[in-house]
Amino acid sequence: MGFVTAKSDNSLFIFRYGKDMAYLLLYVDDIVLVTSSNLLRDRIISHLRIGFPMPDLGPLNYFPGIVVTHSPSYLFLSQQIYALEILERAGMASCKPAATPVDTQSKLSAEAGPKFHNPTLYRSLVGALQYLTFTHPDIAYAVQQVCLFMHDPRQAHYDALKRILRYIQNSIDHGLHLYPPSSMHLITYTDTD
């Protein structure tokens, strides 16, 4: 159909032809389609329906872990529910909040103290935080730092992870506001089975 895989994400496909643009995001059996015109959207959907049964769920409201709120002037993407689930999984649902995601006074190292007793939990929480960076880019650096030690997590690494979780507790209602450019309108389509 003329879509090209995005260099930044293998699940994102981009179509450009003249002034026409479309973005198609696939996640297992969920599809988000954003186009520059109704005509282009209808053409793409018709073409996709030839090979796949697809219901039209209307404007985007939810994509795995991300709630989309529409306002007249912007979209708001939030992972608040997902973040609360991460805090629950870590046993930190009522933890003391932190103002920043990292302790600027300490540096993490590969042999920083004793091994963490539950490396599976550490890896699971770090993986969950990686997905949370979609709407919380403010934690990207801190999450990248704890990712470096997934192969052999130490207690100090888990303490750094807990600091990120305490920051999430403090910023649980944060998300992304997406404003349309003045010269272009995007139309969304979702398919969730």
Q: Does residue 186 have a pLDDT over 60?
A: no
Return the closest-CA partner of residue 168 out of 79, 62, 46, 59. 79
- pLDDT confidence of residue 40: 93
- What does the alpha-carbon distance between residue 123 and residue 146 come to, in Å, rounded to a whole number? 9
What tens digit of pLDDT does each residue of 101-138 get? Answer: 998 777 888 887 899 999 999 999 999 999 999 899 99
Q: Which two tokens stand for residue 177?
A: 């506001």
Contacts of residue 169, defined as CB under 8 A and 6 or more positions apart, other chains included, come to: 87, 92, 95, 96, 97, 98
- What does the alpha-carbon distance between residue 108 and residue 141 come to, in Å, rounded to a whole number? 13
Q: Does residue 41 have a pLDDT over 80?
A: yes
pTM of the model: 0.77
Q: Where are the domains of the chain?
A: 4-54, 78-170
What tens digit of pLDDT does each residue of 136-154 get? Answer: 999 999 999 999 999 999 9
- pLDDT confidence of residue 14: 95
Q: Does residue 183 have a pLDDT over 70?
A: no
- Per cent of the chain over pLDDT 70 is 93
- pLDDT confidence of residue 57: 78
- What does the alpha-carbon distance between residue 160 and residue 145 come to, in Å, rounded to a whole number? 9
- pLDDT confidence of residue 174: 93
Q: Which two tokens stand for residue 162?
A: 């807990």
Sign of dihedral through CA atoms 60, 61, 64, 65?
positive
What radius of gyration, in Å, describes the C-alpha atoms of the chain?
20
Provide the pLDDT confidence category of residue 91 given band limits of 50, 70 and 90: very high
